[in-house]
Every structure is written in structure tokens, then in C-alpha cells.
């Protein structure tokens, strides 16, 4: 055991001893179902589906609620969307190019015995789309007809989602989005909610807050998860500061073959590792950098699982209007050097869409099919730097000329988390050394960065570009002219046309071709953004169990976990 593990184990020994007492109660029922304990995150920040951004929070909600569809691994290993709260779905293409989906619910019940109704989804989706809630996942519904009008007016009745009856849900999309069922209808953020329950719990929380003591944390409607009414396979039965236990929801209406009860223990990466080593938990995420390094050393074929984000330099195209300047700034970026600073799983970016996003055929990878749009070859780096100098000179800026005289003082904004500061310093050093362009790195808070980028009050910034869905279109659709999330302030009618064609495309191969063309236009031709690196992650389930699934978007599904059959020799 490495020194850091010994020290951490000592620091956590008291916790482990206490927790082991409860872990000794882990059992297997007569029908082979187990009690499972996992650690996939620290103390949850929220149990509200539209605000849950942490993997642990999303994982818990994935077991408490059931969406219209859910993901399942098919016989050929592909991940497919299968009915969840819905029993069937029909699609109709309309003459105006819109597409209408009709879901018929299976007659499931909430944990208090009340029927799950179509109006529960209408309430949840309108709540998500409402700008007053400020959810970062609201763009999931931007493909629903009426979304822009509802956002602009605050009138959520304009969103084309309605309950035709208690068991029939109807929604109309602006185009033909292949990923709607697979991504939107399985998302944590679009899980159903009971309006009466949310309002009742909110009123009780507000009443409690009226008598709040100075040192107490304000209550939210979801603060006590054991009081939540849920429609998924589990309900929350017990909670303390270190753990949350879920037990089978007897009103779920489907046979549950996985764990009878599921305990989430809270802790950071090192805590999780110690709990796993001591046998307290049987699944942990994420693995430490040290353990991933050990995995790589032990097995040269081992690879981390892709994370759906690409850390990138964002150019404000309304300030850096000349694409030659943006191209020059991008050419002198040494991604190999930056990647070495970003952690053991980091890889130089080859495009904006990271590895792990499927091509039209789920057996293929979009990034692998599109190839690298960025030259990361160390042997050609000197030539790229010379090309950048030539571009600057052709644009009228000789080395040492004052670019800030025209553009104002140049700053590179970043959030000081992880390796971001080191990367920012190195980037600004490259721009100064090779181009004579002085850019000052400045650390800001996440809120300050978001505000600056939305208002356009920045020139360069570093941020992770992620997508709410595992589809290339979701990485590219924000950059259309006038999109409220177009932080690049990028405008190109050809790009807009491509994205419009993609939204209405019925032929999968043609759609993918247009997506690759759009990414090439954004990066190679206009250089509106410069991707730096992608990262990976890793988790583990004890080898005595099978059946855990990690969603490509990050969260886990343990409902199908079962003890590995014992082989008799």
C-alpha cells in the first residue's frame, strides 16, 4: 500500500470502524438479491432533478425516479432506450417539418400509491424550461416547439408538451432529432415530479425557515429525502450525514431483481478508496489518479472511460473578429504540453466533440470517424508556429506590435480549479513567446465567468465545453446565430444552415456528414474555438458482483446488480 493510502487509512480509521459495524449487516436474500453499498460522490448538493449536476446526486435520483424511457444494454452490447414510465411511444412527422411524439404511460404508481399521470411530466418539463428556475439543463428542451417563446414570455403553456389524458402525453419537436428518446427522455433533469408534493414540501420548508436559527442551513423542499414521493424502483428510507439508504419501492409495479436495499456512502475520492479497501463499499467512483496510474502500469491496454467534455479556449468572435488572429493564437498552442499538466487521463483534443460520442451507428465513435481536426504532432509544431507568425503579419500585426491598442487589454479568464491555473499560465506564455501577444491570465469565479461570457465582456477564456446529451449535435447546436448559449458570439450563416439541415435530417448518414462538416467549419475554417484536451474517468465494482452500468453522461445504475454465480470446480 502506498504511503498516501496508509496516511488516509489512519485518518479515516474511526469512520471505517463505525461504518464496518453496519457493513457487517450486508446480506444476500433467499432469492439471491443482495444489499449493496457504494460510494460515488460526496454529500449531495440537491435532490431536485433540474439542479442535480454532481454524479452522486444524479445517481441517487436515477434510482428514486423513473423517466419515460431508460437506457439498457442490448444483446449486441449497444445502449438502447427502452420504455420506462411509458409503455409505448408513437412518432408522427408533420407537414411543417415538426415531429410529434405520443407516449402512453404504463399505469405505474408513486410511492404513496397515487397513479403516475401525464400531467406529472408536463409539470416537470414546464418547470425545467421556466427561466425563473434557472436550470442549466433547460436547453434539453430547446428542441421542443414553443420553447423559445415560453422562455421569452415566461408563459410555460407555450411549450408544446401536454397531457391528452391522464395516461397520454403529447409533445411536438421543431425537427427530427434522433437523440430525443435516447437522451432527453432518459435524462435526470426531465424526471417526473408531483406538483402537489413539491408545493406541500415547499410550504413546510418555508414555514420551518421562518423559525430558522442563525447557524442553521435553510431548508428546501427536497431537504429530507425520506419524505420525497418517487416513482422509481427505490425510495429513501434512512439518512444521516454519512449515508443515504434506499429500499425497494413496493408501488413501483415492476419486478426488481437487483439489490433489496442500496446504501450510498458519502466521501471524497480517497475516502471512497479506503472504504472499498476495508470492505465497507463494493463500488467506488472515481478512482484516484494514483490507482489509475497503477492500472495503466499493470495493463498497457487499460483505458479510462471518456468524459463528455472538452476543455477549450473560447474566443469572443465579436471582439476577435479576424479569424486569422484566432487561427494564429490556436496554432501556437502546444496541446501535448498542456495535456501533461491536466492529469493522467488527459489526451490532446482532436476536435470539439470528445471520444465516446456515437456516430450514427452506435458501434462507431464520432471522433474516430471524423478523425483529428487539430494537428498535435510535436514534429510539426515549429512549422505551425511559423504559420501563426505569418498569419499575424498578413493580418497587419508584426511581432511586438501592440494588439491591445486595437482590442484593448487582453485577458484570459479561467476558473482556478484543478490544473486550470497551470494551463492558463502556460497558454499565455505560448502566445507571448511565439507571437509577442501579451495576454494576462485572470482567475474568476464560475459565476463571474458565466456572466462575462454570456454578456460578451471577455476576449479569451478557458472552460470545459460539455453537452447535455451524448450526441455530436448537442456539442454544436449552441453556436448558431442568436442562440442564448452562444458564448462564442459566433455568427456564420453557412453554419446556421448546416445546423438547420441537421435538425431536420431523416437520413442518418447524411446527418452525420453534416455534423462533421459543421465541426470542421467551426474549428478549422473559422477557428471560433480551440479545443485543448479531453479527460477520462474510471470506477470499479467488486468482482463478486455483476450488473452495474455507467451512463455515458456520468451517472450510475445499480438496480440490476446481482452476486456473481459461484463456479463449482
Q: Which of 194, 215, 247 is the last residue of a domain?
A: 194
Within a domain: 555: yes
Which residue, 158, 161, 138, 136, is CA-closest to 146? 158
The answer to whether residue 253 sits within a structural domain is yes
Whole-prediction pTM value? 0.90
Long-range contacts of 379-383 (CB under 8 A, 24+ apart): 381/334
Do residues 463 and 360 both lie within one domain? yes
Contact present, 538 and 298 (Cβ < 8 Å):
no
- Judge if 290 and 367 occupy the same domain: no
Domain count, the chain: 3
Do 8 and 77 belong together in one domain? no
263: domain CATH number is 3.40.190.10
Within this chain, do residues 128 and 54 fall inside the same structural domain, yes or no?
no
pLDDT of residue 468: 84
Phi, psi angles (nearest 5°) of residue 198: -60, -45
Same domain, 249 and 331: no
Tens of pLDDT, residues 72-87 = 877 766 778 899 999 9
- Is residue 49 a contact partner of residue 135, using CB atoms and an 8 Å limit? no
Residues 265, 148: one domain? no
Nearest CA among 260, 264, 263, 283 for reference residue 273: 283
Place of cell 450526441: 471
Residue 122 lies in a domain: yes
User: Is 241 a domain residue?
Assistant: yes
Residue 391 and residue 500 in one domain: yes
| 543 shares its domain with 532 | no
Last-in-domain residue among 178, 194, 210 = 194
For 448-499, the pLDDT digits (tens) are: 999 999 999 999 999 999 998 999 999 999 999 999 899 999 999 999 999 9
What per-residue confidence (pLDDT) applies to 362? 65
CATH number assigned to the domain comprising residue 150: 3.90.76.10
Give the CA distances from residue 240 to residues 205, 268, 285, 316, 379, in Å, rounded to whole numbers and listed in that order: 19, 16, 21, 46, 56
Q: What is the pLDDT of residue 317?
A: 97
For residue 156, is it within any domain?
A: yes
Same domain for 464 and 350: yes
In a domain, residue 225? The reply is no
Is 286 a domain residue?
A: yes
How far apart, in whole angstroms, are the C-alpha atoms of residue 294 and residue 344?
Answer: 11
Q: Would 157 be classed as within a structural domain?
A: yes
The answer to whether residues 435 and 390 touch, using CB atoms and an 8 Å cutoff, is no
The DSSP secondary structure of 282-303, one letter per residue, reads SEESSPPHHHHHHHHHH-TT--
pLDDT in tens, the chain (569 residues): 343 344 444 444 444 444 443 344 345 554 556 799 999 999 999 999 999 999 999 999 999 999 999 988 777 667 788 999 999 999 999 999 999 999 999 999 999 999 999 999 999 999 999 999 999 999 999 999 999 999 999 999 999 999 999 999 999 999 999 899 999 999 999 999 999 999 999 999 999 999 888 888 899 999 999 999 999 999 999 999 999 999 999 999 999 989 999 999 999 999 999 999 999 999 999 999 999 999 999 998 999 999 999 999 999 999 999 999 999 999 999 999 999 999 999 999 999 999 999 998 667 999 999 999 999 999 999 999 999 999 998 888 876 556 666 666 799 999 999 999 999 999 999 999 999 899 999 999 999 999 999 999 999 999 999 998 999 999 999 999 999 899 999 999 999 999 999 998 888 899 999 999 999 999 999 999 999 999 999 999 999 999 999 999 999 999 999 998 876 66
Domain carrying residue 17: 3-65+232-294+539-563
Which CATH number do you get for residue 458?
Answer: 3.10.105.10
Residues 31 and 167 placed together within one structural domain of the fold = no
**CA–CA gap between residue 508 and residue 327 (Å, rounded):** 32
Q: Are residues 345 and 478 in the same domain?
A: yes
Question: Which residues on neighbouring strands pair with residue 80, listed in sequence order?
Answer: 72
What is the predicted pLDDT for the residue at 33? 67
Are residues 320 and 454 both part of a single domain? yes
Amino acid at each position: 500500500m502506498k504511503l498516501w493510502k496508509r496516511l488516509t487509512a489512519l485518518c479515516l480509521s474511526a469512520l471505517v470502524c463505525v461504518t464496518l459495524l453496519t457493513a457487517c449487516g450486508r446480506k444476500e436474500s433467499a432469492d439471491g438479491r443482495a444489499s449493496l453499498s457504494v460510494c460515488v460522490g460526496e454529500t449531495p448538493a440537491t435532490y431536485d432533478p433540474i439542479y442535480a449536476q454532481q454524479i452522486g446526486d444524479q445517481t441517487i435520483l436515477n434510482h428514486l425516479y423513473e423517466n419515460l424511457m431508460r437506457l439498457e444494454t442490448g444483446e449486441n452490447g449497444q445502449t438502447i432506450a427502452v420504455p420506462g414510465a411509458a409503455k409505448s411511444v408513437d412518432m408522427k412527422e408533420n407537414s411543417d417539418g415538426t415531429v410529434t411524439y405520443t407516449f402512453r404511460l404504463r399505469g405505474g404508481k408513486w410511492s404513496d400509491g397515487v397513479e403516475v399521470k401525464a400531467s406529472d411530466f408536463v409539470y416537470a418539463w414546464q418547470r425545467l424550461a421556466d427561466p425563473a428556475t434557472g436550470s442549466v439543463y433547460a436547453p434539453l428542451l430547446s428542441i421542443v416547439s414553443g420553447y423559445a417563446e415560453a422562455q421569452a414570455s415566461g408563459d410555460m403553456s407555450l411549450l408544446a408538451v401536454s397531457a391528452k389524458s391522464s395516461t397520454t402525453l403529447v409533445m411536438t419537436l421543431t425537427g427530427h432529432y434522433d437523440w430525443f428518446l435516447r437522451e432527453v427522455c432518459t435524462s435526470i433533469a426531465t424526471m417526473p415530479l408531483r406538483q402537489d408534493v413539491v408545493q406541500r414540501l415547499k410550504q413546510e420548508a418555508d414555514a420551518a425557515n421562518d423559525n430558522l436559527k442563525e447557524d442553521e442551513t435553510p431548508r428546501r423542499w427536497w431537504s429530507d429525502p425520506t419524505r420525497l414521493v418517487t416513482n422509481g424502483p427505490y425510495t429513501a428510507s434512512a439518512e444521516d450525514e454519512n449515508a443515504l439508504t434506499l429500499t425497494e419501492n413496493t408501488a413501483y409495479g415492476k419486478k426488481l431483481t437487483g439489490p433489496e436495499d442500496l446504501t450510498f456512502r458519502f466521501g471524497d475520492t480517497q475516502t471512497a478508496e479506503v472504504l472499498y479497501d476495508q470492505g465497507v463499499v463494493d463500488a467506488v467512483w472515481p478512482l484516484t489518479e494514483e490507482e489509475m496510474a497503477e492500472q495503466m502500469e499493470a495493463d498497457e491496454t487499460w483505458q479510462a472511460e471518456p468524459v463528455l467534455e472538452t476543455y477549450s479556449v473560447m474566443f469572443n468572435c465579436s471582439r476577435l473578429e479576424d479569424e486569422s488572429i484566432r487561427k494564429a493564437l490556436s496554432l501556437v498552442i502546444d496541446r501535448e504540453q498542456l495535456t501533461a499538466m491536466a492529469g493522467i487521463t488527459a489526451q490532446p483534443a482532436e476536435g470539439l466533440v470528445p471520444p465516446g460520442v456515437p456516430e450514427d451507428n452506435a458501434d462507431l465513435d464520432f471522433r474516430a470517424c471524423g478523425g483529428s481536426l487539430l494537428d498535435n504532432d510535436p514534429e510539426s509544431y515549429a512549422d505551425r508556429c511559423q504559420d501563426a507568425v505569418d498569419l499575424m503579419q498578413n493580418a497587419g500585426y508584426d511581432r511586438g506590435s501592440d494588439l491591445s491598442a486595437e482590442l484593448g487589454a487582453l485577458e484570459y479568464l479561467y476558473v482556478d480549479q484543478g490544473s486550470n491555473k497551470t494551463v492558463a499560465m502556460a497558454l499565455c506564455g505560448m502566445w507571448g513567446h511565439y507571437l509577442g501577444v501579451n495576454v494576462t491570465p485572470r482567475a474568476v469565479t464560475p459565476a463571474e465567468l458565466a456572466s462575462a461570457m454570456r454578456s460578451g465582456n471577455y476576449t479569451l477564456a478557458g472552460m470545459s465545453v460539455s453537452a447535455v446529451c451524448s450526441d455530436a449535435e448537442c456539442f454544436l447546436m449552441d453556436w448558431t446565430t442568436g442562440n442564448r448559449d452562444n458564448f462564442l458570439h459566433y455568427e456564420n450563416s453557412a453554419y446556421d444552415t448546416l445546423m438547420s439541415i441537421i435538425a431536420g435530417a431523416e437520413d442518418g448518414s447524411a446527418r452525420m456528414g453534416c455534423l462533421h462538416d459543421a465541426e470542421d467549419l467551426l474549428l478549422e475554417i473559422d477557428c471560433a474555438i480551440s479545443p485543448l484536451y479531453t479527460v477520462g474517468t474510471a470506477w470499479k465494482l467488486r468482482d463478486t458482483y455483476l450488473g452495474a452500468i455507467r451512463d455515458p453522461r456520468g451517472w450510475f445504475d445499480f438496480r440490476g446488480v446481482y452476486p456473481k454465480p459461484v463456479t463449482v470446480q
